[in-house]
Structure 1
């Protein structure tokens, strides 16, 4: 249905462009109207929480004071072990959305994540800067290649998918449906790869995070260690506990074979 809506909007944009051209509207009016459509489409693609092209899960059960920490872009040979050490120290569980080419390069880290009771999800194989322009078949290749890498390492095939950059498109929606994957978003984005002020990130989360929250973090940069240490302490003081996504959402983490 979401894909159908997109193509209806595209058809309408082209149709009205033709009508206005036929009625001899000024060219800049026609261009402006078409730019409005393009801008709306770009915004909709970049706003995963709009659920326009892909239906994603952004929060979980608010009963029980549980929240989910999620880490994108790993595994990283330096920072993922640090994150795992901190999580173990605080007896916290989390979910890791892995890039396929990284998982292929560091299989021992994939094993460790799984063996320590954390959930593993799919974050595409390449995480290319232009991945948002992928066709349905290219998305399917990205998803299946990563699932195959992870399945060979832990013996299970991920069911949860986090779109790179949070970008969603009609083609991705079709690919997720065909591969039977579930898209996972978030309701707290930290921008921790760009935000240098760790204290500011922690302070904002401490003020806004509630039971059922899904927090987006990255185990791919040097600030994640002090950020995670502070965050776990501050949120635990609010009587919040840290669980994997399958527990928070009551959602299966892995596909049935």
Structure 2
């Protein structure tokens, strides 16, 4: 019965041979690429929760499988560096976006999407939704503005995937996300990359925990310099140790609320809003 229940939420949309190596043809320039072992599609109806740190129902990863996730982007320099590392291994991740960062750096967010990664949200301002001032409508607005801002910056609706800042998940907000059919993502192992000043610390933290747990959803931050620097070596080590990446996708896109779409558009679009890309409006004619 439990397996049937899990299968109703997670469908294997595009499964590749888990043990097959990624060839040079599949990943140009890297015949030892990590690649993607399989892609899963998640039905977010009812707001299911994933990540055994908090939610214990959906155990969909096999031994040796990992999900790469990044919070707090997009951010200059660090997010592009993470994207470059992922591209060099032809692998995919899920990015949980802060709304403010999205509207500050839409060009970076669009690169995340163009690379085929999954985009979820992480509130408007990284507020702790368990704090008293965030109860009720204020907390809901944090969630919804994050969704609308990401949609505004991206030009398309993100996936109905959400991660609570600080992993603080008050019951009221969990219930709200269920009503909105938005899946909640915790993690199985935390890199604590915000505590590590050197990339070696990030790599060690991830590999040590994986060795103990054998699989899991990995929490990292593309906002952190140490993580950006660690990614090339971390991905190489994951491949060497036989870990396999599972790419998360959503059955549907999130449906943003018009109230917050309008609020974001008024705040950031300006009186002469244009859909033209920055490169077609502003061009460097001298210097680098």
TM-score, normalised with respect to structure 2? 0.63
User: Residue 244 of structure 1: CA displacement?
Assistant: 2.5
Q: Is the 8 Å Cα contact of residues 121 and 253 (structure 1) preserved in structure 2?
A: no
How far apart in 2 are the matches of 1:56 and 1:159? 20
Distance in 2 between residues matched to 1:154 and 1:59, nearest whole Å: 33
Shift of 1:216: 0.5
Give the CA deviation at 1:151: 2.4
Q: CA 1:82 to 1:164, structure 2 compared with 1: closer, same or farther past 3 Å?
A: same
Structure with max Cα Rg: 1
Q: Of 222, 228, 231, which residue of structure 1 is paired with 2:231? A: 228
1:96-128 deviation line (CA, Å, top 9, x unaligned): 000001101111111111110100011000113
Could you report, residue by residue, the CA deviation over 1:157-215 in whole angstroms, capped at 9, with x for unpaired residues?
Answer: 43110000111112212221232211101111011011234324323422432665110
SS of equivalent residue, structure 1 residue 74: coil
Q: What residue number does 2:139 align with?
A: 139
Change (3 A) 1:59 1:254: farther
Q: Which runs of 5+ in 2 are unaligned?
A: 1-50, 257-288
Q: In 2, distance between residues paired with 1:256 and 1:144?
A: 10
Counterparts of residues 156-195 of structure 1 (less than 5 Å): 156-195=157-196
- Counterpart check, 1:242 vs 2:240: no
2:185 and 2:158 map into 1 onto residues whose CA distance is: 16
Q: Helix, strand or coil: the match of 1:77? A: coil
Q: Which residue of 2 aligns with 1:103?
A: 102
CA distance in 2, matches of 1:57, 1:143: 24
Aligned CA distance change for structure 1 residues 59 and 207 (closer, same or farther; 3 Å): farther
Secondary structure of the residue aligned to 2:130 is helix
Count of residues in correspondence between the two structures? 201
Question: Where do 1:64-213 residues align within 5 Å?
Answer: 65-128=64-127, 130-133=128-131, 134-152=134-152, 153-209=154-210, 212-213=215-216
Q: Measured at CA, do residues 102 and 59 of structure 1 come closer, stay the same or move farther in structure 2, by a change above 3 Å?
A: farther
Check whether the contact 1:73–1:97 (CA below 8 A) recurs between aligned residues: yes
How far does residue 83 in structure 1 lie from its aligned partner after superposition? 0.7
Contact 2:119 2:158 in 1 (8 A): no
Q: TM-score, normalised by structure 1?
A: 0.70
Greater shift after overlay, 82-91 or 193-202? 193-202
Structure-2 change in CA distance of 1:212 and 1:136 (3 Å): farther
